[in-house]
Structures are given as structure tokens and as C-alpha cells.
Chain A
Amino acid sequence: MRWIGKDVPRKEGKDKVTGASRYIDDITFPDMLYGVTVRSETSRGILQRTVFEEGIPWEEFTQVTCKDIPGNNYVALIETDQPYLADGKINHPLEAVLLLAHPDKYLLQEARRKVSLEVDPLPPVYDIEESLNQKEIVWGKDNVFKEYLLEKGDIDQVWEKADHIIEGEYKTGAQEQLYIETNGIVAVANPEEGVTVWGSLQCPYYVHKALMALFDLPADKIRVIQTTTGGGFGGKEEYPSMIAGHAALLAWKSGKPVKLIYDRLEDLAATTKRHPSLTRHKMALSSEGKILGMEIDFVLDGGAYATLSSVVLSRGTIHAAGPYLCENVRVRARVVATNTPPHGAFRGFGAPQSIFALERHLDKAALQLNLSKEELRRRNFIQEGQLTATGQVINEKVSLADLMTKAMEKSDFQKKKEQFHSENKKNKYIKRGIGLSSFFHGAGFTGSGEAYLESMLGMEATKEGKIRILSASTEIGQGTNTIFSQIAAEALGIEYDLIEISVPDTALVPNSGPTVASRTCMIVGKLVESAAIQVKEILRQSGFLASTYSSSEFSKACQSYLDKFSQLRVFSKYKQPTNIKWDDQTYRGDAYGAYAWAVYVAEIKIDLRTYETTVEDFVALQEVGKVIHPTLAAGQIEGGVAQGIGYGLYEKVVWDKGQMINNQMTNYIMPTSADIGKIRVFFEEAPYAHGPAGAKGIGELPLDGVAPAISSAIENAIGLDIPEIPVTPETLHEYWVSRKVNS
């Protein structure tokens, strides 16, 4: 293959290294106003009055409340429970109540501080336990946004046959996406022309749908344009709909362009994070180390509104039993309401939470059965032809056992383990350990999701004789533009440089679906491939293209075609492969078209003077189908591992009354260049029949396996099984001290 599997230069590389790329805050309009959001600051209550203090020329400000909304006051997503602007009821401390706009951004900040809200408080609910216990009902009838019951076999008859029954409880904290570019939107809106927004976002058509409902306007009156986006990781999946609505409302009322950019404090406090989780495991094992049954209770904290929580829960549920064969499974999964800002999409999307619990629980079981962590997993790995927890037959050759062998070799696992064991005895303060995790991650939307989406992608020839891809799939750093160009160039048999990518602008591109769920390469990439095949076919049939051709002949063929017919444009639409069957009611069937498989090994060092844990070496080995661009793919894994290290060790959201109080980059700690040790990435390639050139999804995978491997290594180093993350020095200290007290 000429382009697939090659390290071609990133499409937008030059613009990004010269500072020429235009991000949202780089865009201004003459006569533009700045916007800000005034928020409730009370976790739950009824808004009585808004007080505008003296000393501000209030008449100069554009003010928008829920009364100014032309259409529906909800952020259209799955449910319609989340208002754009509070209409009396306050459900979390960052609830937007009032919007202000003014040309002077300094005065605007001052004005925001001079608004006071009088709220009659209601009793709030702050965590999973309180919500489950229904201390107060804060959402619906029972605080539960969504519940799933996933069942395989008969778990209830398993316990009496078991040689071992092992129980455990695991907790994961919230995690902030922390894209370095904060959220922002610029809007132009008026009744004549409709609404146009530019923004830092992942899913143009999500915003499009939300604005149609907010303004009660038809599709052609709403236009959403993605600007170069400084990272998303899920954090710019659903939240931009909120900011776009706010900016557009201010623009609509003032008649002027409005820029609404969150500063870091506001971005951290107000926008979505990874759902905190609480998981209880009860596992039945035979004396040979076969898993006979798993009963899992998986609960996520959804925050104040439903947003995407049901879908996040779904992915977490399906991944909860992992890549292991088990005939009897019951997963009861719920996502519940609390009075904190809604939690949302973050790379991994529910799977990192349930996989953390399972992998830690397996380590616990291995210890109890006196088996190595590796061996217990080997005895239970799912094989080709066997059934997953949802009853999906694994139709690909699964090589987890091979991956395990290779990961053991690359990390020198056994030798390291012995070496650390003897060194740790001699060293009072420095303790080293090595640990692992094995896992899978489904690519694309869950179950029938892709079939419902009916994603569409376009491709056209340009006057210059180039090919332009029309897609709403956004480049957010992960390399969409580059891999799409490779796939197209390969299928067309032309130069990589002859491929252009249209700006994701809803006025120009069809809806290829959201840029989420590791679906861009596998699902939308496949559409690129089939569109390219159609283009080639049309050119051939028209007689302009011979059976063999050079790139310049291809360009000429495009131009001749355009001269004659004025347009060459094709669309390709996603069709679910017929072998994929899913039943939403029973929650059974083929959950995902394909899975990526992985074994990760972490080597860590703990300093028992500071209780600090450092990752010294990390081996990330995965099978992801055909790798389209090795360097980009490795970059995805390295970046994911870095975020996973943060998730496992550093990144703690500190809550007070439903509000993140460490909302700064100085006290919410993400890994820096000084914190990242060696990350060694390895790919195994087993081409997937329905992916472009055999590729599967890759983006989310690394987030699943890093934290459990680190916790496993911590256990190996100091014999402490810490069932929660992040393991900050404070957390480690707490567990270490209480262990001494206990023993």
C-alpha cells in the first residue's frame, strides 16, 4: 500500500507550528461584543430575585434571561431537562441564570461581580450514596437517569458451586478533560439571516440540532462552523451546544456579533467532567481460577441533568465484564442525579470506570487464589467463537494470550518483579512495583447506534483537479484530516497532497456523525473509502480516466469531467454490516462491530517519605486492526497513557457543595513533561473486514487500561490494595497509615 501505514506529514502541521491556525479566540468581528454568564452559585433552590448593584452603567449592557428565548429553553440532546437559562429552578451551583454582553471586556467582568442572586435554598444531594438513598429526590421520581440490567446465564445458582466468592468495592473520581484551549464560541444572529456560530467543538451537528430547538428555526437558518480546536477529549462533545446557545442569544438580542470565551476558572468549574463511579463486585471462582460468575453493581454520578449519561452508562455497562469468558453475569447499572454540574463525555466514556473496578478485582482474586495476576487472566481470556456478556459471538481471532506474552517480554515483567521484590526489602523508603491490566474497547457507537445515525459523507472534485472530502468529522488533534486523506489517496491511487478536507461547516458538509466513540477512522473512514471508490468509478465510466493513470492524469480527468458536467460530487452513507444485531430492550447482541484488545504494564516507584508515585516505564501493547499512520497512532496512545497517568495518580477534583473548588491549573494537577517516564507503544495488526483498509478504532482505548495497571503496580510495590483513584500522595498516605494501625 502506498499511503496506508505511512507516516505522511500531518495535514495541518505547518499552520500549527507557525501560529497561523485560527482558533476561536483568534477570530474577531468589528463591532463585536463580549459575553459572560452569570451563574447561580447555589446548589439547589428557587431563584427569587436578581439584584443589579450600583456603580455599573447597566443600560449599556445587553442582558438575556430565559424570558428572551425565542424557542425552547432546553439544550436538545437525549432528554430535554437541561435549561439554557434557569427558569426559577436552580439545580447546581454553576447553573446559568443571566447573560451579559458589552464591548468592554474588563467592565463586563466587573459587572458580573456586581450581580447578586437571591435564591431560596432547597436541600441538595452531593454524591452517589446520597442520591441512591433518595435523601432528597432531585431528579424525576427516584433520582435515576437511566438503569440497565445486563444478564447472561444464571448468576443466582452459581454461588453455591463456587470454591471462592470474592467481593470488593471500587471508586473512581471525576476527571477534567483539560484541553489547553478553553471553550469558546463566536455568534452572529438575527431574525432575517438566522444564526451562525463559529466554535471550538467536536460535533457541529449536535450544536446545529440544539440551536434549531432553542431558536425554533429550520435547519437552513442555523449554521455551525468548527474552528481549529485546541483539544476536546469528549469535553467539547455536548457542552459547546450550551455556549453556542448563550452566545447566539446575546447576538440575537444585541444585533451584534458576540464572542463568549470561558476563562480557565469558569471552564473548569462549569463544564462537564468524567463521571465519578462506585462499583461493587461479587465474583465466583473455581479452585482452578475459572471465573464462574460475576455480579456487578455499577453506579455513575451524572450530576444535575441527563445530558449523555445514559450513553456513557451503556458503554461502561458493556465493558464491565471485560474481555473474559464468564457464563453467568449480571450487571446492574445506574446513573443517578446529584446537584453538581452535569458530568459528560470524556475519552473512554464510562469504560475506564468499570474496567478499573474489574481489573482491580481480578488482582484481588489472583492474590486470594494464590495465582499470578497474569495467570488468572490467561485462564479466563475470551476466545474466538465464545460469547461476551451481551451474548456477542467474537468473530475475530482474539490474541489476548499472545498480547500477554509479548507484554510480559517487552516489560521484562518476571525479572523486574523479582528484582523489585529484593530491592524493596533493602530500601526503607523507595519501593518499586510492576503491574498490569488486560482489556478491550469497542469501536463506534454502541449497539444499533451507528445504524440509527446513518452517517453521510461527501466527496467532490475541485476545479484545480483535487479531491475534497466533505465531512462533519472534526480534526481535534487526533489526525482526522491526515488519515482521511491517506484513505482517500490510497483508494483513488493518487498523491496524498491532492486530497483536501472541507471545513466542517453545516452549510457545506453532510452529517457524518459526531467525532466521538473512536468511530472516526473505522466508521467514517470507511465512508471515505467507499466515496473514493465511487468517484473513481464515475470518472472511469465517463471515459475521462483510463484503467491505469498517474496523479496528474487523474487531476486532468477531474477537470475534464467538471468542464463537461460542472459538478462531480458523491455521497456515501453508512450501512451497518448485516451480521451486526442488537436488541435495545434485552440489551443483548452485538454491542460493537469491532474491539481493540490490549495488555498494559506499568512500572512505578513510590517514595514513602513524600508518598509520591511516579511511573518510570510504561508498556502499551494493543491490537487495533490495520494501523493507518503509525506515528499518529502512537501519538494517540502516548497521549492517552499520559491522561491515564493523570487519572490514576494526580487528577483529583475537589468538591465543595457541588462545586469544583480547585478549578485552576495550579491545583488541579495534570502530568507535565517532568512527570512522564518512558512510554513504549506497540501495535499488533489484525485487519478488520469492515474498517477502511482493515482499521479499527483507537482513540479511547488507552484511557481504559492505564489507571488499573498503575494501581496494580502500587499493590505490587507496597502490598496495599487501594480500591480508588486517583492515588494522590494524600490518598496513599491515608491508606498506608491505616494499614499500620490495622496490623
Chain B
Amino acid sequence: MTKKNQLTKESGLSRRSFLKGVGLTSAGLAVTSGGEIFAEASGDASVKIISPGGATITLEVNGKKHQLKVEPRETLVEVLRDRLHLTGTKIGCDRGACGACTVIVDGKNVTSCLMLAIDAEGKSIETIEGLEKEGELHPVQKSFIEYDALQCGFCTPGMIMSSKNLLDHNPSPNLADVKHAVRGNLCRCGTYPKVFQAVLAASKQNKGE
């Protein structure tokens, strides 16, 4: 009996090829199976042609611009971690299910394992490394320490980014808002109750209460 090694195979379409399709289509590009990539006649002047060797893009991370060459298949989290050495953003599932890779892109929570790096070009990206300003921790970070809203800490960067983004948009959240904001951030250590406390406390501090 011969068996194929299928541990990481999923019904024909791999996550990456799926992503590639989604990502490039949204940028107005189509992918051919031969690895060549053509621009679609979309009339969009911003369309770029990406050669198989990769594309040079500029990523704005924590206010700093980085120019780098990426392959179309590389996800944002890979580029952040492997190229820019911003390893604070974590990978827990690489499939959009755990929230460990949460970063803020143009004011929105994004699971960076599900975004291609080339799709992040021109957008403003915030990661956990960018929260501390001139040696001063962000109120959410301080509050996480104060309420011990972390145990192993692996979900923590993602949890903090979701919480920070909540407070950016809603300075006075209630418990339900907080629960909702971090519902995509899985924590196996079960820090949820302390996260709720920490975020609510940080929102009060923010307003000087």
C-alpha cells in the first residue's frame, strides 16, 4: 500500500495558493499557474507587475518606512518576523484562527498571517514593538502588567493590539465591547477575565479618571 504524505495537504488548494488568489485579485492582478503574473486590464493605474523573483515594496511599520523585496506568497507576519525582525508578533495557527498575529493596519485589526505583505504596501502598520513611546509603555501595556493579564504571554501581543485598537476607536468601552474586541484572540492560559479588567482600567486611565 502506498500512501502520500498528506499531513499538511488540504483538499487540493493550499492556504497559500488560496491566499495568493485572494490577495492578488484584490490588487487587480491575476495569477497563472506557470508562476508568471500578468496585470489584468483593470484600468487601474496603480497596478504593478510583479515578476516571479519578487517585488520591491515599501512597508510603513510603526511609523518607519522599510523598502524590501518580497515574494508574492509571503504573508505580512512572515515579513515582519523574518525580514524586519519584529518577532513580537506571533504565529499560533498561521490560518486566521487564533489572533496571535494581530496587528493594526490602517486602524483595523488584521490577522497578519492572512494578509500578503504586498497587500500591505502603502498602508500604515502598527505592531506591538511600536506601542512603547520614548520609554513609556502604552496605557494598555501598563494595565496588562498591573492586572497580570498575561501568563505565558504568547497571545499577549495580539491581545494587546486588539485592545489598543478598541480604545483608539472607543475610549469608553463597556465589558461587552471588550469581550467583543478580543473575541478573536485565543488565550489558552485563560487570562480573559484579567484582560477584561485591564482594558477597562486602561480606558479609565486614558481619560484621567
Contact = CB atoms under 8 A, between A and B. Distances in A.
Contacts of B190: 635, 638-643, 671, 676
Contacts of A121: 1
B51 to A, nearest CB: 17
Given A180-B152, A641-B190, A117 B5 contact: yes
A42 B141 CA distance: 48
Interface string B83-99: 00011111111110110
Interface stretch (A247-255, A440-448, A471-479, A540-548): A471-479
Given A17-B145, A180-B188, A116 B4 contact: yes
Contacts of B154: 23, 179-181, 230-231
B91 to A, nearest CB: 7
Contact of A665 (B7, B129, B145, B186): B186
Interface in A258-313: 263-266, 269
A673 B97 contact: no
A181 B151 contact: no
Contact of A21 (B81, B93, B153, B160): B153
Given A121-B1, A639-B190, A664-B93, A10 B145 contact: yes
A9 B100 CA distance: 23
Interface stretch (A105-113, A210-218, A314-322, A391-399): A105-113
Interface string B177-209: 001101111111111111110000000000000
A404 B192 CA distance: 27
A230 B192 contact: no
B8 interface: yes
A264 B73 contact: no
Contact of A670 (B86, B89, B186, B193): B186
A116 B93 contact: no
Contacts of A266: 7-8
B151 A478 contact: yes
B9 interface: yes
Given A479-B151, A642-B192, A38 B100 contact: no
A457 B150 CA distance: 27
A476 B93 contact: no
A91 interface: no
Contacts of B90: 23, 25, 180-181, 230
Contacts of A17: 128, 137, 141, 144-145, 150, 153, 156, 160
A631 interface: yes
Contacts of A55: none
Contact of A635 (B3, B81, B86, B151): B151
B153 A18 contact: no
Which of A178, A181, A643, A664 has its CB near the most chain B CB atoms (within 10 A)? Answer: A181
Interface in A608-646: 631-632, 635, 638-643
Interface in B117-159: 127-129, 131-132, 137, 141, 144-148, 150-157
Contacts of B33: none
B131 A18 contact: yes
Contacts of B42: none
B32 interface: no
B46 interface: no
A105 B7 CA distance: 16
Contacts of B127: 19
A673 B8 contact: no
A135 interface: no
Contacts of A120: 1
Given A41-B6, A42-B3, A180-B98, A20 B148 contact: no
A181 B152 contact: yes
B150 A231 contact: no
Nearest to B162: A673
Interface in A179-225: 179-182
B11 interface: no
B88 A18 contact: yes
Contacts of B187: 180, 673
Given A39-B7, A42-B1, A674 B179 contact: yes
Contacts of B87: 19, 22-23, 25-26
B85 to A, nearest CB: 9
Contacts of A22: 87
A15 B9 CA distance: 36
A45 B131 CA distance: 54
Contacts of A12: 153
A266 B144 CA distance: 32
A231 B152 CA distance: 5
A639 B190 CA distance: 4
A406 interface: no
A156 B61 CA distance: 73
A39 B98 CA distance: 26
B4 A18 contact: no
B2 interface: yes
A230 B153 contact: yes
17 contacts: A17-B141, A17-B153, A18-B141, A25-B91, A41-B7, A51-B2, A112-B5, A118-B1, A121-B1, A231-B154, A638-B193, A643-B188, A666-B97, A670-B186, A670-B188, A673-B183, A674-B179
Interface of A: 7, 9-10, 12-23, 25-26, 38-39, 41-42, 45, 51, 106, 109, 112-121, 177-182, 228-233, 263-266, 269, 476-479, 631-632, 635, 638-643, 664-666, 670-674, 676, 679
Interface of B: 1-9, 73, 81, 86-95, 97-98, 100, 127-129, 131-132, 137, 141, 144-148, 150-157, 160, 179-180, 182-196
Given A19-B86, A231-B152, A269-B7, 10 more contacts: A10-B148, A19-B87, A19-B157, A25-B91, A116-B2, A180-B152, A182-B92, A265-B7, A671-B190, A673-B183
